[in-house]
């Protein structure tokens, strides 16, 4: 892939835009690009820089992405959803051995929601966090749909990133702990030289729990996507978590050797091990266990932003009908019927269920006698009931999956209805009240007819979100169904040129 037309062979310390940006480390990569942490010399701050592959098709996609991101930047910053979308700061061309690469500069964000789901060991996030995330995603979606005329089309945990409260502090923290590791390594080699075997496992960088070295193998990311995300603390008052009481002792300890003061060999190995473990695990704000429901305090807030507009399109101009990641794909898209902004809302419903439970809402598989789409449609019907007749009639592919009665699936006979409320109670052990409230809320998003699916603005005022904290307010009755968006809510409406 590092060939003409492919990725740019970037390296640490490489400069961009006449020396304005200097690469610091890699943050991630995707099908289209590599993403780097860079220092913006002009503004004296750190940024995330996406270096796009140079081939024509990638360039063209990147130009569309820049247009969509620019629309976001130039649309009403007063809207409460504006701050929950990633911001493009700059873009330019960069010449390299493999061609001309478009570079997009963004604010630096932290882990994505999939890594948060994993940190909670696929057992679900505290409801309080899910409410906060739901509110912010809905505000951001309303901003995209109504203010910008943009449909994201790829809402999923990987594309929602946690905000980092103080990027410069985090980068400094990472640099400091890197410096400490170097010192400790020097201590260890001194120990070895003096005949003391320091435990190799504790010193093995790959095995240790250093936040940005943790490997995060995705259960679904394709081979062409990966990330080494910057961690982000989960609590609002993160500053206190930065103060490591052990830091000074480590420096003193390491300083002693640096100053050639002999170390007592009988205790040093344990000391070293202890300090390593402590300094990089317990006292590390970023690798700490995430808080459980009963540990949350009133002012614990998390902030998220929707990222990756690389697959987004305009309400008035869809680029393709082949949209959304499988598990988050709406029924109208599967069936080849009209789709619009409301398809994002279906994905939000799937995403929120996953945050609450740690499991996919729908995870269709192929069988010997049925396709993924067959299974997907069956799972939808089992959960929410029959698919809207209007959508079935409109769908180009309906006949492939349904008998001519448009009720029964061709390939899957025995459906076992299991409504969301019962699933939440029986399988996931939510209380009766929680199960009822959650299924009421998600049910508004999992309406199979995109025309009648509820919209983001109305949903942001749903009673389930009443106690989620203040993220702003949109003056709209709950229960609206895209009235302010118009026909673009559920189908493409081409503008006359």
For position 307 contacting ligand ATP by CB under 6 A, the verdict is yes
For the beta carbon of residue 189, count every other beta carbon within 10 angstroms.
Answer: 13
Coil, strand or helix: which one is 15?
strand
Question: Which among 136, 127, 134, 128 is positioned nearest to 424, based on CA atoms?
Answer: 127
Binder among 142, 308, 344, 375 for Mg ion (CB under 5 A)? 308
**DSSP conformation letters of 365-401:** ---SS--HHHHHHHHHHHHH-SPPHHHHHH-TTHHHH
For the chain, the maximum distance between any two Cα atoms, rounded to a whole number of angstroms, is 87
Q: Which listed residue (10, 23, 24, 35) binds ligand ATP by CB under 6 A?
A: 35
> What does 229 interact with, of Mg ion, ligand ATP, none (CB < 5 to 8 A by kind)?
ligand ATP
Among 4, 9, 12, 31, contact with ligand ATP (rule: CB under 6 A): 31
Nearer Cβ to ligand ATP, position 48 or 387? 48
Q: Which residue has the tokens 């994993």?
A: 118
SS (H, E, C) 34-103: EEEEEEECCCCEEEEEEEECCCHHHHHHHHHHHHHHHHHHCCCCCCCCHHHECCEEEEEEEEECCEEEEE
Quick one: 133 or 276, whose CB is closer to ligand ATP? 133
Minimum distance between the CB of residue 484 and Mg ion, rounded to whole angstroms?
A: 28
Question: Nearest distance from residue 426's CB to ligand ATP, in Å?
Answer: 35
Q: x/- contact string, 105-124, with ligand ATP (CB under 6 A)?
A: -x-xx---------------
Measured between alpha carbons, how far apart are the two ends of the chain, in Å? 39
CA gap 173, 171 in Å, rounded:
5
163: its two tokens: 């905000």
Catalytic residue among 154, 308, 375, 455: 154
* Contacting range for Mg ion; rule: CB under 5 A; set: 25-33, 122-130, 144-152, 293-301: 25-33
Q: Choose the binding region for Mg ion from 233-241, 308-316, 385-393, 484-492 (rule: CB under 5 A).
A: 308-316
Which range, of 12-20, 25-33, 76-84, 137-145, touches ligand ATP by CB under 6 A? 25-33
| 223-242 residues near ligand ATP, rule: CB under 6 A | 225, 227, 229
Min CB(181)–ligand ATP separation in Å: 22
For position 28 contacting ligand ATP by CB under 6 A, the verdict is: yes
Say whether 413 counts as a known binding-site residue. no
Runs of H (alpha helix) within 110-235 = 113-119, 127-142, 167-193, 200-203
What is the Cα–Cα distance from 230 to 279, expressed in whole angstroms?
A: 18
Q: How far is the CB of 61 from ligand ATP (least distance, A)?
A: 8
Q: Are 398 and 407 in contact (CB under 8 A)?
A: no
Residue 154 bears catalytic tag: yes
Residue 213 CA to residue 44 CA, distance in Å, equals 26
Could you give the CA distance from residue 87 to residue 27 in angstroms, rounded to a whole number? 17
Q: How far apart are CA 7 and CA 357, in angstroms?
A: 37
Residue 35, contacted partner among Mg ion, ligand ATP, none, CB below 5-8 A by kind: ligand ATP
Number of chain positions touching ligand ATP (CB under 6 A): 21
Buried b (16+ CB within 10 A) or exposed e, 346-364: bbbbbbbbbbbbbebbbeb
33 binds ligand ATP (CB under 6 A): yes
Rounded to a whole number of angstroms, the minimum distance from the CB of residue 463 to ligand ATP is 34
Q: Is 310 in the site for Mg ion (CB under 5 A)?
A: yes
d(CA 284, CA 301): 19
Q: Which is nearer to ligand ATP, 32 or 91 (CB)?
A: 32
Residue 407 in contact with ligand ATP, rule: CB under 6 A: no
* Choices 102-110, 315-323, 344-352, 452-460; region in contact with ligand ATP by CB under 6 A: 102-110
The residues binding Mg ion (CB under 5 A) are 30, 308, 310
Residue ranges for the known binding site for ATP are 50
Contact residues for ligand ATP (CB under 6 A)? 27-33, 35, 48, 50, 86, 106, 108-109, 158, 225, 227, 229, 307-308, 310
Residues forming the active site: 154
């Amino acid at each position: 892939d590092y060939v003409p037309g492919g990725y740019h062979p970037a390296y640490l310390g490489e400069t961009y835009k006449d020396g304005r940006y200097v690469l610091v480390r890699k943050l991630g990569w995707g099908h289209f690009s590599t993403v780097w942490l860079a220092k913006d010399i002009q503004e004296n701050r750190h940024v995330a820089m996406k270096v796009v592959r140079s081939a024509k098709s990638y360039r063209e996609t990147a130009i569309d992405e820049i247009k969509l991101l620019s629309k976001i930047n130039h649309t009403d910053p007063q809207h409460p959803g504006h701050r929950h979308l990633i911001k493009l700061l700059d873009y330019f061309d960069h010449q390299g051995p493999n061609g001309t690469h478009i570079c997009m500069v963004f604010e630096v964000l932290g882990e994505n929601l999939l890594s948060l789901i994993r940190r909670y060991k696929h057992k679900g996030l505290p409801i309080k966090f899910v409410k906060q995330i739901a509110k912010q995603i809905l505000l951001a979606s309303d901003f995209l749909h109504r203010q910008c005329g943009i449909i994201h089309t790829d809402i999923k945990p990987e594309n929602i990133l946690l905000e980092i409260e103080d990027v410069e502090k985090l980068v400094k923290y990472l640099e400091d702990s890197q410096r400490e590791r170097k010192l400790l390594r020097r201590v260890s080699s001194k120990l070895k030289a003096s005949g003391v075997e320091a435990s190799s496992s504790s010193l093995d960088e790959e095995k240790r729990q250093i936040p940005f070295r943790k490997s995060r193998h995705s259960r679904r990311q394709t081979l062409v996507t990966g990330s080494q995300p910057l961690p982000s603390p989960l609590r609002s008052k993160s500053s206190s978590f930065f103060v490591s009481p052990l830091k000074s002792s480590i420096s003193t300890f390491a300083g002693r050797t640096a100053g050639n003061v002999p170390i007592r060999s009988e205790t040093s190995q344990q000391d070293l091990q202890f300090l390593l473990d402590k300094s990089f695990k317990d006292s590390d704000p970023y690798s700490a266990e995430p808080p459980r429901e009963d540990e949350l305090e009133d002012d614990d807030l998390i902030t998220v932003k929707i990222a990756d507009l690389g697959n987004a399109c305009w309400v008035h101009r869809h680029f393709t009908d082949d949209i959304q990641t499988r598990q988050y794909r709406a029924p109208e898209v599967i069936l080849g019927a009209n789709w619009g902004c409301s398809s994002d809302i279906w994905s939000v419903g799937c995403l929120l269920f996953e945050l609450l439970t740690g499991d996919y809402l729908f995870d269709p598989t192929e069988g010997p006698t049925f396709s993924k789409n067959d299974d997907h449609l069956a799972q939808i019907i089992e959960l929410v009931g029959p698919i809207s007749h209007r959508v079935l009639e409109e769908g180009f592919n309906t006949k492939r999956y349904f008998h001519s009665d448009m009720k029964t699936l061709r390939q899957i006979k025995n459906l076992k209805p299991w409504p969301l409320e019962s699933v939440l109670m029986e399988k996931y052990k939510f209380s009766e009240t929680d199960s009822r409230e959650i299924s009421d809320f998600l049910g508004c998003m999992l309406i199979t007819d995109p025309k009648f699916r509820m919209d983001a603005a109305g949903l942001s005022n749903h009673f389930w979100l009443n106690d989620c904290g203040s993220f702003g307010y949109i003056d709209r009755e709950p229960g609206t169904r895209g009235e302010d968006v118009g026909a673009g809510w559920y189908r493409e409406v081409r503008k006359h040129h």
